Amino acid sequence: MKLTIVFAGLLGVFLTPALASSDINIGGNSNSGASGQQSVSVNNEHNVANVDNNNGWDSWNALWDYSNDLAAIRLFGKKKCVVHRMNKNVMPSLQTLDTLVKEKKLQGKGPEGPPPKGLIYSVNPEEVKDLNKLGKPIANMCRGVPTYMAEEIEGASLFFNSGKCFSAGILWILNISFCGSTVED
C-alpha cells in the first residue's frame, strides 16, 4: 500500500509540469515601445494559449484554441468578441509558443527583433447565435457579449482599409487587424 502511495505521489510530481500551463509577462517599463502589459499562458492539457493585454480601456484577451483551429479576441472596451480561423502558416504552433514561453525568449524582445507577421480580417456584421459551435474555451470566453466571425483577407497589404480597424499586436511576433463596422463602435 505504501509503495502505491509513493508511486502515485511521484507520478503527480513528474506529470504536473507536463500538464500545467506556462506563463510569461511582457511589458511595463523595461520594454521600449510596449503599451500596457501582455501575459501569455500556454495550457498543453487543453491545447489552448491565452494572451492577456492589460492596457486600461484598450485591454483585450485573445484565446487560441488549437483543438478547433479557432482563435478569438475579446475587446473589453468595445464589449465584443471576434472569432476567426487560425492561419497556421502565420500563427505559431502551440509547441513553438510553449517553447518560447518556457525559455522566456519573448521577454525583452521588442522592436529590435524581426518584424512581426501580419494578418487582416474582415468582421462579419451578423452576430453568432450559437457560441457552442465554436468550442467550449471560446464559448466560455465570449459568453455574455456580442460575438462575430471574421474572415481573413488573403493577400491583403498593410494599406488595405475597409473602414476603421482594431489592431492587436501579440508579443512582437504577430499583428492582427480586424476591420469593419462591427469594431468601429
pLDDT tens track for 114-148: 667 889 999 999 999 999 999 999 999 999 999 99
Report yes or no on 25 lying in a domain. no
Check residue 127 and give its pLDDT. 97
The pair phi, psi for residue 16, each rounded to 5°, is -55, -45
Q: List the grid coordinates of 129.
A: 447565435
In a domain, 56, yes or no: yes
In a domain, 85, yes or no: yes
Higher model confidence: residue 173 or residue 118?
118
Report the pLDDT value the prediction gives residue 113, as an integer from 0 to 100.
57
Burial classification of residue 170, based on how many CB atoms lie within 10 Å of its CB (0-12 exposed, 13-18 middle, 19 or more buried): buried
* Assigned domain for 13 exists: no
**Residue 155 to residue 184: CA distance in whole angstroms:** 23
Q: Which domain holds residue 40?
A: 30-108+115-183
Helices (H), the chain: 2-19, 94-102, 136-142
Q: How many whole angstroms separate alpha carbon 70 and alpha carbon 143?
A: 16
For residues 40 and 111, which has the higher predicted lDDT (pLDDT)? 40
Looking at the domain assignment, is residue 59 inside a domain? yes
> Nearest to residue 119, comparing CAs of 74, 146, 85, 95?
85
Q: Please give the distance of CA 64 from its chain centroid, rounded to a whole number.
A: 5
pLDDT at 180 (0 to 100):
86
Number of domains in the chain: 1
Domain contains 24: no
Q: Is the pLDDT of residue 7 over 50?
A: no
Task: Determine, yes or no, domain membership for 20.
Answer: no
Task: State how beta strands 48-54 and 147-152 pair.
Answer: unpaired
* Residue 133: CB atoms within 10 Å: 11
More confident residue, 29 or 129: 129
What's the chain's average pLDDT?
A: 76
pLDDT at position 3, please? 40
Question: Which of 1-10, 104-113, 131-140 has the weakest average pLDDT?
Answer: 1-10
Q: What's the pLDDT band for 83 if we cut at 50, 70, 90?
A: very high
Would residue 6 count as lying in a domain?
A: no
Q: Which amino acid is at 173?
A: I
